Structure formats: C-alpha cells, structure tokens
Amino acid sequence: MQSIYRPSSNSPLTKGAALEKNTRCALNFPVNAGYMIYSISIYNLGGKQIESYRNLGGDSGVASYEIGSDSITVVFTTGATYRYNYQSAGSNHIEQMKSLAISGHGLNSYINRNVKYGYVK
C-alpha cells in the first residue's frame, strides 16, 4: 500500500497532521519553482523500516529505500516506487544498489545507467 501526500500551493500541510500507520510516503512541499523534499522513516506492513536516503551528493532523485534479502525497493522524490530483485535485475546489481543506498551516494545514477527498466513488473 502506498500513500502520497502532495499539498498544492494553496493547501499547506497542517501542523501536527497525522500519517496512517503502515503507510509508505514522500512529502513534497512547494517552494518557489522547485520542491523541498522531506523524507521520513515509517514502518510498512512487513515491519521493515523504509530508510531515508542520505543524498550526500545533494541532487538525487531517490527519497528512501527498503532493503530485502534479495531485493531493494526504491522510493523516488516523484513519489514513484519501484522494487528490484535478483530475478528482475540480477544479484550483482541488487547488491551494488544496496551498498549505494546504505552509503547515501550514487544510487540514482546507478539505477539510470544499469537497471532503469529492471524493476519487478
């Protein structure tokens, strides 16, 4: 289950707004012509934590990720969520993506260069 909250420019997020338990989300707040991206960690139905991507390069399209034993689920700043696993993208790519996700640098570029369409369909 995925829930995305994107306030329009005329409907600001209310202070203290609640998110449902077991919801995956990305919050985008309009700022001038661009967006400020706020990532939060919450728990999904499987009890695994979705980690905020550290984005050490400062320009990533990745907001958060979840690592599984043979997979990685990536939530992009657009709100799109893609799951990649050993079968869809290959174990070497998945293990490299896990490493990049944990390090907080290079995941978006790696996906675009190597496994862009290798997600689980």
Please report, in tens digits, the pLDDT of each residue of the chain (121 residues total).
344 444 444 434 333 334 444 444 444 444 444 444 444 444 444 556 689 999 999 999 999 999 999 999 999 999 999 999 999 999 999 999 999 999 999 999 999 999 999 999 8
Q: DSSP letter string over 16-74?
A: T----TT-B--EEEEETTEEEEE----B-TTSPBPEEP--TTS--SEEEEEE-SSEEEE
pLDDT of residue 3: 41
Using a cut of 0.75, tell me whether the model's pTM lies above it. no
Phi, psi (degrees; rounded to nearest 5) at 94: -65, -45
Helix (H) or strand (E) holding 110: helix 107-110
pLDDT of residue 70: 97
Tokens of 81: 């969520």
